[in-house]
Amino acid sequence: MDSVPTGKLIDEVARRTGMTKKAVQRVVDALSESVADALARGNRVELRGLASFSVTESAPRLGRNPKTGKAIMIPVTRRVRARVARAVRRRVAESGASGGSGVYIAAEGDPWAEELRSRLAEGGYQLSVGASLDEALRASRRRPDEISFVMVGPSVDDAGYASIARQVKLDSSTAMLPLVRGRVDLSGLDRPGVVQVMPDATFDSPASALALVKSEAERWREEKHYFGRQVTLRAPSDEASVEELKKLLESFYKDALADETEAYKTLSAFREAIDNAASHGNRYDPSRYLTVTLMEDAERLALEVKDEGQGFDYEVFLAESDSGDAASLTRSRLERGAPGGLGLRLMSECVDELRYSDGGSRVTLVKRRRT
């Protein structure tokens, strides 16, 4: 097993962060000195997600010199104890001999279950099968955070998949798990007739499932530990689907912000983004689709909405929204036959970041958590 010296760690941190190696070295040196100083004062130090360090003292005691046998007084001894974080221990355990484990949800008689379990076992992966997520997890004898992926077999119909997908992706205890859907015919999955939670990946045979797991399992494991919740929804632009999208949005972000006023303002901006995309972008045309991605981590909430409209000159709109009073701007735009723009003003004032791309057909809103 290779040793990883400090220099290699500094190189990797510089690569991941974009910082210079000298800057990373200064941070490492300062961190090391700060930890040593804190421990010297007898304080406990926690590097969240990595390890915690504490100082223990043994009381003075009477002992004997092993050479002479004479009684001696052994003074107070101070030692540093380290405890590795649970997330690190779990990652180390997962990276052992086994390639990982997953669950496969399928109806009785699923045509791929046994072949898939056999193929994955040959690749070092354990697969537990059940008719529901709960049943498959019980069969695996593992907690959700110990599972690498959730697969849904072709024997599960669209309605069954929709129910499973919402259970997995809208529950905070399982939302970090990759959701993989299997179907003989993968066409049409991106054009659902109702609001659909989109899978993170798809496969159309046991062989392609094995190839997918082999190529993606390590990335899935890493992202599960580093990223927060994320779910992508896709829906036609009819009014009923738009309302359901907004209800799912509210469910996803429920209790995400402690301050009620901030939560109200943020959700108002998020709902407005969906309404704008449906009305101005897709013009409530059911043949045009909305793709909505909901994201949350320890630092921020984010929403991305993509419509299939022609877009608009968002740079002009954003510039106008940053100047003048709302009533005058709205009146001026309506006189030009353009949308009033109050929605843009609302969104820009209620979130920390508002960004348009893809010619105005994609909008991203970010709300940072206040510490």
| Domain ranges across the chain | 6-90, 93-217, 230-368
Low-confidence ranges of the chain (pLDDT < 70): 1-2, 59-67, 69-76, 90-99, 221-227, 314, 316-342, 371
pLDDT at residue 269 in the model? 94
How far is residue 208 CA from its own chain's centroid?
Answer: 25
The architecture CATH gives domain 93-217: 3-Layer(aba) Sandwich (3.40)
For residue 76, the model assigns a pLDDT of: 63
Burial class (CB in 10 A: 0-12, 13-18, 19+), 82: exposed
Say which amino acid occupies 143: R
HEC assignment per residue over 286-322: CCCEEEEEEEECCCEEEEEEECCCCCCCHHHHHHHHC
Considering only CA atoms, give the Rg of the chain.
27
Torsion of the alpha carbons at 336, 342, 347 and 350, rounded to the nearest 10: 150
Q: What is the pLDDT of residue 303?
A: 95
- Assess contact for 173 and 144: CB atoms under 8 A: yes
Predicted local distance difference test score (pLDDT) of residue 50: 85
pLDDT of 326 reads 47
The CATH topology of domain 230-368 is Heat Shock Protein 90 (3.30.565)
What pLDDT score does 78 carry? 80
| pTM (global) more than 0.75 | no
- The residues near 157 (Cβ < 8 Å, ≥ 6 apart) are none
State the CATH class of domain 6-90.
few secondary structures
d(CA 56, CA 256): 38
Q: Decide if 274 contacts 245 (C-beta within 8 A).
A: yes
